[in-house]
Structure 1
Amino acid sequence: MMLKLYFVGFLIKSLLTIGIETQPAHGSLKPRNVQFQSRNFHNVLRWQPGSFLTSNGSVYFVQYKMYGQRQWKNKTDCWGTTALFCDLTNETLDLYEPYYGRVMTARAGSYSAWSMTPRFTPWWETKLDPPAVTTVPVNGSLLVLLRAPELPYRNRKGNNTSTENYYNLVYRVFLIDNLVEKEQKAYEGTQRTVQIEGLTPRSGYCIVAEIYRPMLGRKSPRSERRCVQIP
């Protein structure tokens, strides 16, 4: 009888030990830092492998849904992917609606719990690139042409869509005198064509520009310098 009780006690202790040891292993599979990264409404879900893991040998399963929906939807192109990202641009086309994404890891026959993003609203959270800048030197002046970033998809008519369709954009243009490397704001407004006058002939100037979204209080990075010689 004593031998039987000893064996049962040993078995229970062994099972408890196994449970304690395997729980961290399964927890380490769970993807970390699952979040949307959005630039010009190109919305990509990104994550990192679970703790103490590399991406080698792991596959991932991605689902998404709009806020308020009960059912999650599988992202077919990212169902069993080995990548650490998933493009959900076409699944998040309603730019004013909030979305969620989530990721699960599978490795060596084990599966992690789902790891979910915070709420993501493209219109609120996307980052804008700087405007494209074209400069045309004219006698004593400089014509600056600005173009807002385009969206990664077309409208129903098949035309490219600009971020101007979704924001009231303000353009800021800065003039740099190459002789003294002095910068000044030459323009701030909504016009995409800017004429900067009163420049010194046969002198060099550079232009940089940025986009400002007043409603959100955010600005883009600055564009690369566009340098010209005034005739």
Structure 2
Amino acid sequence: MMPKLCLLGVLVGFLLTGGVGTKNVHETLKPQRVRFQSRNFHNILHWQPGKALTDNSAAYFVQYKLYGEKQWKNKEDCWGTQELLCDLTNETSDPQELYYARVKTVSAGSYSAWSMTRRFIPWWEMKIDPPVINITQVNESLLVSLHTPNLPSKVQKGKNVSMENYDLVYRVFIINNSLEKEQLVYEGAHRVVRIEALTPRSGYCIAAELYQPMLDRRSQRSEERCVEIP
């Protein structure tokens, strides 16, 4: 009886050790720091490789869902990708909804558990870059050209919606250097703004920002552009 009991103990110990080892492999392959980054209405899922990965041979599989849904959906463009990011802009296009995403690793025949994001609400996390401005001087007036940061073509109900439908508002400010006075001179959707009736032999600086009224979200100020009126 003793030899049989010893053999049984060794076998059980081997199986338990193998199980723990397999579990450890799953854990060390698990993607790290899975999170969304939302910028200029682009919602990009990012992650880092698992602790056990030392090269770029792993494949990653991405799923997403809306809060309250039971079924996860495969992101076909990121199903078996070797990138460490996945563009989920179209799948998370409603800025006030709640979303989740998750990533799994497959490497050398082994696979990890899913690694899930925390709750993602684009409205809370979105950042907007400031517009880029160019100034053309015309006598005693200035033409200010405003260039929008790169925005995606928003998709709603299967239709492409142009960038103008993000309802972005430009705010243009002028600073009179002599008086050290700042003034809001324009607020609206036009991308070219004319500023007139400027004082000769004075210096002015122009800055602008973008504002999204529905989300009450604004960008930082652009870099100032300065000119001297002759």
TM-score (norm 2): 0.79
Contact 2:66/2:98, CA 8 A, preserved across alignment: yes
Q: 1:151-190 residue pairs with structure 2 within 5 A? A: 151-153=151-153, 160-162=162-164, 164-165=166-167, 169=169, 171=171, 173=173, 175=175, 177=177, 185-187=182-184, 190=187
Amino acid at match of 1:126: M
Question: Which piece of structure 1 moves more, 182-191 or 25-34?
Answer: 182-191
Matched position secondary structure for 1:76: strand
Alpha-carbon distance between aligned partners in 2 of 1:12 and 1:136, rounded to the nearest angstrom: 81
Counterpart residue number, 2:222: 223
- Within 2, Cα distance between the matches of 1:97 and 1:159? 19
2:126 alignment counterpart: 126
1:108 matched residue in structure 2:
108
Q: What is the distance in 2 between the residues matched to 1:113 and 1:3?
A: 39
> Structure 1 pair 115/159, CA: closer, same or farther in 2 (3 Å)?
closer
- How many percent identity over aligned positions? 52
Distance in 1 between residues matched to 2:17 and 2:147, nearest whole Å: 64
Q: Deviations over 1:10-36 (max 9, x none)?
A: 222232233333422220111111111
Partner residue in 2 for 1:135: 135
Shift in Å, 1:204: 5.5
Q: Separation in 2 of the partners of 1:124 and 1:188?
A: 29
State whether residues 210 and 222 of structure 1, in contact with CA within 8 Å, keep that contact through their aligned partners in structure 2. Answer: yes
For 1:119 and 1:111, how far apart are their aligned partners in 2? 24
Question: Is the contact made by 1:104 and 1:113 (CA closer than 8 Å) also made in structure 2?
Answer: yes
- Once residues 10 and 176 of structure 2 are traced to their aligned partners in structure 1, the CA distance between those partners, rounded to angstroms, is 80
5+ residue gaps, structure 1: none
* Amino acid paired to 1:43: N
**CA separation in 2, counterparts of 1:39 and 1:226?**
24
- Does the CA-based 8 Å contact 1:207-1:227 persist in structure 2? yes
Equivalents in 2 of 1:227, 1:12: separation in Å?
Answer: 78
Distance 1:155 1:102, change over 3 A: closer
Alignment deviations for residues 136-194 of structure 1 (CA, whole Å, 9 cap, x no partner):
324444343445546310578866323752x6x472535385xx9x9753327634536
Instruction: String of CA shifts for 1:55-81, please: whole Å, max 9, x gaps.
Output: 522100011112222211111111101
Cα distance in 1 for partners of 2:69, 2:161 equals 31
Kept in 1, the 8 Å contact 2:130–2:208? The answer is yes
Letter in 1 for 2:64: Y
Check if 1:86 corresponds to 2:86.
yes
- Name 2:209's counterpart in structure 1: 210
Q: How many residues align?
A: 225
1:127 CA displacement: 1.1
- 2:55 and 2:160 map into 1 onto residues whose CA distance is 38
Looking at structure 1, the residues matched to 59 and 209 of structure 2 have their Cα atoms a distance apart, in angstroms, of 40
TM-score by length of 1: 0.79
Where structure 2 has 5 or more consecutive residues not aligned to the other structure, the ranges are: none
Q: Secondary structure at the match of 1:151?
A: coil
How far has the Cα of 1:130 moved from its partner?
0.4
Aligned residues of 2:198 and 2:229 also touching (Cα < 8 A): no
Question: Residues of 1 paired with 2:181 and 2:115: CA distance?
Answer: 48
Instruction: State how far apart, in whole Å, the 1-side matches of 2:119 and 2:209 are.
Output: 28
In structure 2, the residue matched to 1:56 is 56
CA distance in 1, matches of 2:112, 2:155: 39
Measure, in 1, the Cα distance between the counterparts of 2:107 and 2:148: 44
